[in-house]
Structure 1
Amino acid sequence: MNYQKFVALLASEDPMKELTNILIDANTDALKRGASMGWVMALSLDFGSYKETFLDESKSQNDVDEYFISYYSSDFEETIKYFLLEDSDILPAALKSLLSESVWAFENQKYQICIPALFSIIEGALVDLSNNGERKNIKYKQGLDDAVVTDRSLNFAVLPLISLSWFLDYAFKKSDFDQSNFVELNRHWALHGRYLDILGIKPALQLFSVVALILFCYKLQKV
């Protein structure tokens, strides 16, 4: 954007909205590709590095998985656990306890139990973030999308919401339970006991990062 256009933008009726729209347009592709590969915005990683990873289309799913598994595993406490514990008081007591137990399980290499537990935490946390506390007529993704479009107070905080929205597209989509050797991260397969193979550390890390981002977004909305 040249200086003339920038001045015109600042003189517009709603400059912050215009700046936010520019921010969204500039980052949507990276956010979509990242979340669609199971990796939402990483709170402990500078956004430029995250964005660069997913704008590089030469990187395969395996390349990306190896990068994030290595990154998060190198220091789980600093890269994820810190953000979970910092904001866990936002959660209802039952979900806070479930999150604490999930962290314990992960740190003791009990990865399988983390997956259904973390999906439950995600759904419970989204009741407030994207559904205004309403516990029926759930509209997880639609609620996030509506906030991005209508809540002008969000400004630059829209990017985490967009990342979460695309993740819900990826992990909450309907799937044929008759498939064999299904290894994608999927809410329905996890909560309905359809996985046949051990999934390992990757989906646990993916879901912990989602929970951390949800808690971060919730805190931003309360500021």
Structure 2
Amino acid sequence: MKDPFEEIKKISSEMNRLVRESMSPMVQFDTRINEIRNILSEPTRVFRRLALNLPDYIKDPEKRDSLTKDIINYVSSKGWTFSEIIPFRVLIDPELLKLNADDLDSFFLELYAEGVYEGVKEHTIDKISIKHKPLLEEVFFNIDHEKYKIAIPSLILIIEGEISEITENNAMGWNLVNDWRLRLEQNDMREVDEFLYAKTLALTNFLSEHLFTSNKFWYERKPFVNRNWVMHGRDDSELWTVTEVYKLINFLETIVEIKQKLRLRSIIISS
């Protein structure tokens, strides 16, 4: 997919190179300063060109917002929810709407390999409930050592625990997630932060329809890993995939971000 901000990415890469080289005593100081000055002047020229060449769906706020919501809903329905760690360019790329589920899996796994994983790892460990932190650290330790299957039940446990903190609800499984979804329609989140609302609604829809959905143990196994089947020992762990692990990590990152924003909003309102 064509990235309209490719030039900016190249500039960032060049800046990183200059910083690394600046540590070398072999490079003359005045040479480094001139190179850095030239690089710093380039973003302005690039942004001007981008402003002229940006498509209408990005220039027009209403079209851009509508596109972003469509992307959030479509991509989340395939199991990839959004947080601020996901690059903004993803939220305004209409090409995503043309990708099928397998292509989206490949796209997001590549994003994670390019650096999103490290950002999510750092953020979730830092912001997760203290009672889940030791377990989450072991989850990432195992993932870093390519031991993925042990992460599935642990991540489901943590996800459910974090949702219960957001909702302050003692319900379990599907009932917990469905209660969260119903509450979204009753509060004013949409008016306060429409994109947080869109991310949250898309997340709860996928969780209630897939991860937490009811599926009797004598029914056929569903394509996506199921909370009840895993936690009650009915699922076949041979069928658990690396992609599902990263989707669960991604869910958790979205949930943690939502929790943090809701807490901040509560502090602001009460102060």
TM-score greater than 0.5 by the shorter chain: yes
What aligned pairs does 1:47-58 form with structure 2 within 5 A after superposition?
A: 47-50=88-91, 52=93, 56-57=97-98
Q: Which residue of 2 aligns with 1:124?
A: 161
Of 240, 252, 257, the match for 1:211:
252
Offset of residue 24 of structure 1: 8.5
Work out whether 1:73 is the aligned partner of 2:110.
no
Which of the numbers 179, 182, 193 marks the counterpart of 1:155? 193
Residue from 58, 69, 86 that aligns with 2:126: 86
Quote the Cα distance in structure 1 between the aligned partners of 2:89 and 2:179.
27
Aligned CA distance change for structure 1 residues 139 and 33 (closer, same or farther; 3 Å): same
CA contact (8 A) 2:217 2:234 kept: yes
Taking the TM superposition and a 5 Å limit, the aligned residue runs for 1:128-207 are 128-129=165-166, 131=167, 133-136=168-171, 138-147=175-184, 149-152=186-189, 154-156=192-194, 157-168=196-207, 169-178=209-218, 182-196=222-236, 197-207=238-248
Distance 2:216 2:64 in 1: 37
Say whether 1:114 aligns with 2:147.
no
C-alpha deviations, 1:84-128, integer Å up to 9, x for none? Answer: 12312xx142x2222111111111111101111111101111112
Distance of 2:66 and 2:187 partners within structure 1: 16
Compare 183-192 and 23-32 and name the one that shifted more.
23-32
Q: Counterparts of 2:79 and 2:245 in 1: how far apart (Å)?
A: 11
Distance 1:170 1:35, change over 3 A: farther
1:98 paired with 2:135, answer yes
Q: Which has the higher contact order (CA 8 A, sep 6+)?
A: 1
Structure 2 residues not aligned, in runs of 5+:
1-62, 265-271
Distance 1:176 1:41, change over 3 A: same
CA deviations over 1:122-157 (Å, ceiling 9, x no partner):
11111121x2x2324753233244235413474243
Q: Any gaps of 5 or more consecutive residues in structure 1? A: 1-21
Provide closer, same or farther for how the CA distance between residues 136 and 42 of structure 1 changes in structure 2, counting only shifts above 3 A.
Answer: closer
Match of 1:10 in 2: none
1:3-24 residue CA offsets vs partner (Å, 9 max, x unmatched):
xxxxxxxxxxxxxxxxxxx998
Determine the C-alpha separation between the residues in 1 that align with 2:92 and 2:218.
Answer: 35
- Normalised to the residue count of structure 1, the TM-score between the two structures is 0.74
Determine if contact 1:112/1:198 at 8 Å carries over to the other structure.
no
CA distance in 1, matches of 2:198, 2:138: 29
Letter in 2 for 1:162: L
Distance 2:117 2:73 in 1: 27
Contact 2:164 2:170 in 1 (8 A): yes
Task: In structure 1, give the amino acid aligned to 2:205.
Answer: W
Q: Return the index of the structure with the highest Cα Rg.
A: 2
Contact 1:99 1:118 in 2 (8 A): yes
Q: Indicate conservation of the 8 Å contact 2:72/2:202, yes or no.
A: yes
Match of 2:253, SS? helix
Q: How has the CA–CA distance of structure 1 residues 51 and 146 changed in structure 2, closer, same or farther, with 3 Å as cutoff? A: farther
More displaced stretch, 159-168 vs 192-201: 192-201
Q: Contact between 2:211 and 2:225, CA under 8 Å: does it hold in 1?
A: yes
Q: Which shows bigger deviation, 33-42 or 185-194? A: 185-194
TM-score between both structures, scaled by the size of structure 2: 0.62
